[in-house]
Structure 1
Amino acid sequence: MNIVEYADTVWRGEAPDSIVHVGLAGQGFVEVVDGVGFRSGFGNVIALRQGGEVTLFDTGNPFDADRLHADLRAWTDEPVSTAIYSHGHIDHVSGVGPLDTEAEAAGRPRPMVVGHEAITARFERYVLTAGYNAVINRRQFQAPDLTWPTEYRYPDVTYRDELTAGHVELFHAKGETDDASVGWIPSRRILLPGDLFIWVTPNCGNPQKAQRYPREWAIALRRMATLRPEIMLPGHGAPIFGADRVEQALTETAEWLESMVERTLGMLNEGARLDDIVRAVQPPAHLAERPYLRPHYDEPEFVVRNIWRLYGGWYDGNPARLKPAPDVELASAIAELAGGAEKLADAALRALAGGDQRLAGHLAEMAVQAAPDDAALHRVRAEVYATRAESEASLMSKGVFTWAAEESRRTAGEL
């Protein structure tokens, strides 16, 4: 496969390749230029062969470590001396084990693992919240058997601001995470942005995950653009070839983030409630059709909520929600006013038929909270959320709504 021609089809929007659609999975390492291999997957891996040794930038996900090792050895037999983590998410840090085993069997030193100093705290948090992370990732990715790891290959070398490791210059950035490393190969003019570019709108509002940093993310993207890279190999999705295209992708993604931050903070500073800000703030219309800025994973309104959380705390401006009644008590009171939980379910179906899926969700949820053992009400809830899932563009919304529909189908005895 000609990787340059393939990347061109993705750039033109003719083929999907992103964190949501993995276009080249199963192809192994494809050589983008002499001595630089690119392996597509859920968590891309970049290999730099130089001076008789290999430097890896990212190491893939926990379900793919053995296959990654086999693919690497099909591409080169040179030893891996350095493995760099772009950040601490498990789809980027989980493939070192077979490389360690190989090195020990050959009597060589294990690869030196390099990452930002904040990765250690991330791994420690993952151990503390392993159960929660298992649940939310099952929900997000519809993977009912997913388990969350509690053992990690920690970095051997960490840094705070900048470091050169294995012919790759690194600098720290905050964006999707607080522990990101951007890689730069100056001799090849190749940029390795990790998950700061993933061919969809920035993953900056994920409703089930830890804090994101949109303003700092934009700053990092503009810093990358000043390097004038000729090739960008992202953490997810296809490469981008050509300095002008790379610069456009970076600066327009920065502009998208800057617009969301500026408008959200403007309304926050005026004292607006979160609900009003979520309805009012939209990303720049002239960027809506860019193949790398489509909301297929995260969504603009989630980004707004994340910006509020970062700068404004958790109180949303509605005094009723400062110390609210328990959901079940509120649902029971509303059901009583409506004439029963069945009336709420009927209203949910009318709202759904009328195209108001958001209102339908509220009403269906209240109906089953007021009568949690009623199979008929759960069937209504399942219908509402299944319909919502079908109509959503983003993987996150689809995941949550599909999970909710299946919850009610199980309660109703249909699964």
Structure 2
Amino acid sequence: MRFPPTLLSLALLAPLMSSAATPAKDATAITLQSNQQWLQRLPFADRGDFEAAQRGLIERYEGVVSNANGKTVWDLNQYAFLNQTNAPGTVNPSLWRIAQLNTIAGLFKVTDGIYQIRGLDLANMTIVEGDNGLIVLDPLLSVETAKAGLELYFKNRPRKPVTTVIYTHPHVDHFGGVRGIIDEADVTAGKVQVIAPQGFFEHAIGENVLAGPAMKRRAQYMYGAPLPRSERGQVDAGLGKGIPANATISLIAPTREISQPVERLTLEGIEVEFQLTPGTEAPAEMNIYFPRFKALCMAENATHVQHNVLTLRGALVRDPKIWAHYLDQSLLRYGNQAEVVFAQHHWPTWGGAQIREYLADQRDMYAFIDSQTLRLINQGLTPMEIADTLSSLPPRLANKWYSRDYYGSLSHNVRAVYQRYMGFYDGNPANLNPLPPQAAGKRYVAAMGGADQLLTQARKAFDEGDYRWVAQLTNHLVFAEPDNADARNLQADALEQLGYQSENATWRNAYLSGAQELRDGVAAATGGGGNADDMVRALTPAMFFDYLSVRVDALKAADHDLSINWRFTDLNEDYALTLRNGVLTHRDLTRHDQADVNISMNKSTLDRIALKQTGFLKEATVGDITITGERVKFLRFMGGLEETDGRFNIVTP
């Protein structure tokens, strides 16, 4: 009987066992031609971003970061193939460009008093020099990379203690490395404060827990976790190179939350102005302005890519309308003051005119996505019709590198806006209750005259370069006949070419991951990942019970009603659980007047079970968990909870 780990999306950090993978194929002549055309579509002669990305470089980082067990966490050397100037035929030239930019790593001076660690993780760590101590914004994703980044800073700058940590928002790449730069004992003693936007802790722990296994699996596709780092594999992740492997994820709770729309503090002699931007790139997020330095931190609200309205791994749909609103408020409030804008990904923008143009363009981009999707919704267009109609941003925006589809994409963002306003149903009754893929696949194959006839048509379409259609056709056959090697290989070939052509890093990773699994199957996990003990301990009892509820098979449990009083003695908290009609619900900080079973334990015992340091039955046997009442019925219920296999099939049934 196992209890679930929390923040399950972090399991994507565990490497996959890569058996002898089928070699990837070369780009076809049609893909070569498609990629070559990109060189005429975009202003590749503009090298301004390369100058900006290297501006202020103090020391380049070329080392390897390892964990305590000697396993590699971060190694940019695996991207050495990006050193060649021109993109190979297997990579979209625009994607090659951002992939090269994201390899420029090290310690950078943003302006006097502000420095950044870039390229040691998916995100940036920003260090602001105060009078007697350091203010650190977003200490990366892993303890190992954050520690290496701070060591690089101290190698080149005066050594001062870190006295303030600021989390700009609750995505793990912006807080997970905190124990690499501060000690929780210093926080407890009041020597270090940790500042975050209102709602940070709830979202940092709660996001991705309930749908964690599915999000983790999809994130492997999105970030290309199982792919080789090569010209025919993963080259980038859009926001940065990728996710650290074998990493230690940590979290120290904030000691102070920013709750006012605009709030000012003095930290280490420096005036700091916080601008809350809830509901933008994250549910809780804030921009930060430093008047002394005339420097504006945009968190992750304005980066050098078009961001996600809905990330491919899955999440709640974001609101591009409110996103545009807060960008406009930042432009209005700081546009005439700031001399440098930086974010927690990519490189800064310097100069008042450039800053105002940049913020205005980012505002217009998200406003365009929202308003134009709604315009076409009201004309009756369906999600895919809208994506096809809005195939490009307006020309002036489309030609700005910081608006390109490297991470989010116009295609999936407009469909996310449709989902936000209209839901899954496109209004056509034929799509109200369609057949699931396997049943539909069999009927499509039969309607087309059988597998051989479908493959004949698919091969003809492949030769014509109609790869999207090949992928759709062969998908039906793969779901009808999963063991049809010809269908799997042809679909893999089509997905591979779509990946080679994609400007979007996450689309490329998804296409190539699908191709790899069609050829070789789902790779086994090595179990050699890092850990996220802080995240497990931070899981509240209510979150734990919510997660239990999604592991109950309602039909199997429908006739097994059970009422439970669950007490955590160290917290002095009671919870009343009810299993009825196969549904588990809970009431917090209360008890049933009469319960079938009573559980008493420490929250620390639950944490040790979740961390797999002990087991529920063992603790119930030795006495650290007390069970009274219908013990057998309760243990049968717990033993019947589903165990999710996080390696479920995606491109096959």
Is residue 19–residue 200 contact of structure 1 (8 Å, CA) maintained in 2? no
Amino acid at match of 1:54: L
- Cα shift at 1:394: 0.2
Alignment map for 1:179-190 (pairs within 5 Å)? 179-190=284-295
1:369 is matched by which residue type in structure 2?
A: F
1:96 to partner: Cα distance: 0.9
Select which of 179, 191, 199 maps to 2:304: 199
**1:267 paired residue number:** 376
Cα distance in structure 2, aligned partners of 1:80 and 1:382: 50
SS at match of 2:251: coil
AA partner of residue 516 (structure 2): E
Look up the match of 2:18.
none
User: What SS does the aligned partner of 2:508 have?
Assistant: helix
For residue 78 of structure 1, what is the aligned residue in structure 2? 160
1:221-273 Cα offsets, whole Å, 9 max, x none, are 11111212110111211111101001101101111221221111112233332
1:10-409 aligned within 5 A: 21-25=101-105, 27-28=106-107, 30-41=108-119, 42-62=122-142, 64-74=145-155, 75-101=157-183, 104=185, 109=190, 111-122=192-203, 123-144=205-226, 152-160=251-259, 161-165=261-265, 166=267, 167-173=271-277, 174-210=279-315, 211-226=317-332, 227-228=334-335, 229-281=338-390, 282-409=392-519
1:376 to 1:82, Cα distance in 2 relative to 1, 3 A = same
Q: 1:243 to 1:386 in 2, by over 3 A?
A: same
Rounded Cα–Cα distance in structure 1 between residues aligned with 2:160 and 2:346: 26
CA contact (8 A) 1:192 1:234 kept: yes
For structure 1, which segment, 175-184 or 132-141, has the greater mean C-alpha deviation from structure 2 after superposition?
132-141
The Cα RMSD (Å) is 3.0
Equivalent pair of 2:129/2:135 in contact (CA under 8 Å): yes
Q: Is the 8 A contact 2:306 2:406 kept in 1?
A: yes
**Matched residue type, 2:215:** N
Change (3 A) 1:40 1:247: same
Give the match's secondary structure for 2:170: coil
* Matching residue's letter, 2:138: D
TM-score by length of 2: 0.58
Deviations 1:281-315 (A, max 9, x none): 24112221112111122210111011112212221
* Equivalent AA in structure 1 for residue 314 of structure 2: K
Query: Is this contact kept in 2: 1:252–1:287, CA < 8 A?
Result: yes
C-alpha distance in 2, partners of 1:335/1:142? 31
CA contact (8 A) 1:16 1:23 kept: no
Counterpart-to-counterpart distance in 1, 2:487 and 2:51: 49
Per the TM alignment, residue 17 of structure 1 is displaced from its structure 2 partner at its CA by: 7.9
Find the aligned partners of 1:289 and 1:21 in 2 and give their Cα distance.
18
Aligned-pair distance for 1:220? 1.4
Q: What is the deviation of 1:320?
A: 2.4
Larger radius of gyration: 2
Given residue 110 of structure 2, which amino acid in structure 1 is its aligned partner?
V
In structure 2, stretches of 5+ residues that fail to align are: 1-47, 56-92, 227-243, 524-653
Aligned to 1:6: 51
Specify whether residues 51 and 15 from structure 1 end up closer, same or farther in structure 2 by C-alpha distance, changes over 3 A only: farther
Letter in 2 for 1:177: A
Gaps of 5+ in 1: none
- Identical aligned residues as a percent: 21
Mapped to 2, the partners of 1:43 and 1:106 lie a distance apart of 24
Alpha-carbon distance between aligned partners in 2 of 1:407 and 1:72, rounded to the nearest angstrom: 41
Q: Deviations over 1:74-114 (max 9, x none)?
A: 2342111211112111211122102233x748996463222
2:651 alignment counterpart: none
- Following the alignment from structure 1 to structure 2, what is the Cα–Cα distance between the partners of residues 262 and 412? 40
Distance in 1 of aligned mates of 2:455 and 2:246: 35
Shift of 1:5: 8.9
* Contact 2:132–2:160 (CA under 8 A) maintained in structure 1: yes
**Could you say which structure has the greater relative contact order, defined with CA pairs below 8 angstroms and 6 or more residues apart?**
2
Cα contact 2:95–2:406 (8 A) shared by 1: no
Q: Is the 8 A contact 2:187 2:193 kept in 1?
A: no
Report the Cα offset of residue 353 of structure 1: 2.2
Q: 3-state SS of the aligned residue for 2:263?
A: strand
Is contact 2:176-2:250 (8 Å) kept?
A: no
Amino acid in the other structure paired with 2:508: K
Q: CA deviation at 1:207?
A: 2.9
TM-superposed CA distance for 1:151, in Å, is 5.7
Distance 1:90 1:355, change over 3 A: same
Code of the aligned partner of 1:94: G
Write the letter of the residue equivalent to 2:362.
Answer: T
- Answer yes or no: is the 8 Å Cα contact 1:43–1:60 preserved in 2: yes
Asked if the contact 1:389/1:402 (under 8 Å) is kept, the reply is yes
Question: In 1, Cα distance between the equivalents of 2:50 and 2:515?
Answer: 41
CA 1:127–1:106: 2 relative to 1, 3 Å = closer
Cα distance in 2 for partners of 1:56, 1:96 equals: 9
Q: CA offset at residue 16 of structure 1?
A: 8.2
Using the TM superposition, give the Cα deviation of residue 149 of structure 1 relative to its aligned residue in structure 2, in angstroms. Answer: 7.7
Change (3 A) 1:312 1:195: same
SS at match of 1:83: strand
CA distance in 2, matches of 1:128, 1:262: 31
On the 8 A contact 1:382/1:409 being kept in 2, the answer is yes
Q: Report the Cα offset of residue 344 of structure 1.
A: 2.3
Tell me: CA distance 1:20–1:311, structure 2 relative to 1, closer, same or farther (3 Å).
Answer: farther
Determine the C-alpha separation between the residues in 1 that align with 2:372 and 2:311.
19
Report the CA distance between 1:325 and its aligned residue.
Answer: 1.0
Cα-to-partner distance string for 1:375-412 (whole Å, 9 max, x where unaligned): 22211111111111111110121111111101111149
Deviation for aligned residue 1:159: 2.7
Classify 1:130/1:69 alpha carbon distance in 2 versus 1 (closer, same or farther; 3 Å). farther
Q: How much has 1:14 moved relative to structure 2?
A: 11
Say if 1:274 and 1:317, in contact at 8 Å, map to a contact too: no
Give how far 1:186 is off. 1.4
Say which SS state the counterpart of residue 292 (structure 1) adopts: helix
Contact 2:139-2:181 at 8 Å conserved across structures: no
Q: Note if contact 1:18-1:238 (Cα within 8 Å) is conserved in structure 2.
A: no
Equivalent pair of 2:300/2:343 in contact (CA under 8 Å): yes
Corresponding letter in the other structure for 1:188? F
